[in-house]
């Protein structure tokens, strides 16, 4: 990666961070949606633009492993689901491990993509945590179940919305490139490099146990909340 490309990547991440910061600070739901949508669209468009794919070509990317503490408690698997869905949408692979200090996620991918995933997770988790705090039920246990289901619903819907943003960006890139074959090949090669890097770095991993049963009402409320916080479809 050249110096100019590195500087461009840093500028992109800073633009995304500023947009998401505005989404967190505003009291207007419509403004928050607009800032989040612009950030997601900017990321998706940049990642598969013909110019960026051509610059990187078949050369090895700056692949890296990053650790992110996701904590412990009743909501940790929901946070892992949110982080995992954001990572998947940006060609970042993730595994996690329970430690005495809490669960730790290990992310493998290009450094630029890791930066974006970390920034988007921090913002979206802050936003959903604020909404979860407003949920109350008749008992503490019932409140916890509702909030947990809400977080899973939110996390899964965010994954869908980010995937839709990526599809829309690919359509735009294909149109600009005059054909999708070259773009598709470059994207596939990039994903394969990340997969190979993750496999070499982690070796064999075990599948996690399924999360406990979720409250359907809370889950649907989380889905609806993610729809309101449109991340760029």
pTM over 0.85: no
| Structure confidence at residue 58 as a pLDDT band (50, 70, 90) | very low
| Structure confidence at residue 231 as a pLDDT band (50, 70, 90) | low
Per-residue pLDDT tens over the stretch 204-223: 877 777 776 777 788 888 88
DSSP letter, residue 102: E
Cβ-based burial of 200 (10 A; exposed 0-12, middle 13-18, buried ≥19)? exposed
Which has the closest alpha carbon to 72: 43, 50, 103? 103
Q: What is the mean pLDDT of residues 194-204?
A: 91
pLDDT: is 34 or 86 the higher one?
A: 86
Rg (C-alpha) for the chain, rounded Å, is: 18
- Please tell me the least confidently modeled range out of 33-37, 63-67, 84-88, 202-206: 33-37
| Structure confidence at residue 107 as a pLDDT band (50, 70, 90) | very high
Half-sphere exposure of 200 (CA within 13 A, CB side): 10
**What's the sign of the alpha-carbon dihedral 212, 147, 84, 122?**
negative
Per-residue pLDDT tens over the stretch 67-77: 999 998 989 99
d(CA 51, CA 96): 34
Are the C-beta atoms of residues 213 and 110 closer than 8 Å to each other?
Answer: no
Q: Give me the numbers of helices (H) and strands (E) for the chain, helices first please.
A: 8, 3
């Amino acid at each position: 990666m050249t110096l100019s490309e590195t500087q461009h990547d840093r500028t992109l991440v800073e633009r995304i961070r500023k947009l998401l910061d505005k989404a967190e600070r505003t009291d207007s739901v419509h403004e928050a949606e607009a800032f989040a949508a612009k950030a997601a669209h900017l990321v998706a468009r940049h990642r598969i633009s013909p110019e960026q794919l051509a610059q990187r070509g078949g050369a090895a990317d700056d692949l890296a492993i990053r650790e992110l503490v996701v904590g412990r408690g009743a909501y940790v698997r929901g946070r892992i689901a949110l982080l995992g869905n954001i990572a998947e949408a940006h060609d970042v692979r993730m595994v996690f491990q329970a430690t005495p200090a809490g669960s730790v996620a290990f992310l493998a991918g290009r450094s630029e993509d890791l930066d974006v995933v970390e920034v988007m997770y921090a913002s979206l988790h802050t936003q959903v945590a604020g909404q979860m705090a407003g949920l109350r039920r008749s008992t503490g246990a019932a409140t916890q179940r509702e909030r947990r289901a809400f977080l899973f619903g939110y996390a899964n819907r965010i994954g869908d919305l980010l995937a839709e943003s990526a599809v829309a960006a690919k359509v735009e890139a294909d149109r600009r490139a005059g054909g999708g074959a070259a773009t598709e090949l470059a994207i596939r090669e990039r994903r394969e490099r990340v997969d190979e890097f993750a496999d070499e770095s982690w070796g064999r991993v075990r599948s996690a146990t399924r999360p406990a049963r979720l409250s359907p009402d809370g889950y649907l409320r989380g889905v609806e909340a993610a729809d309101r916080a449109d991340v760029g479809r």
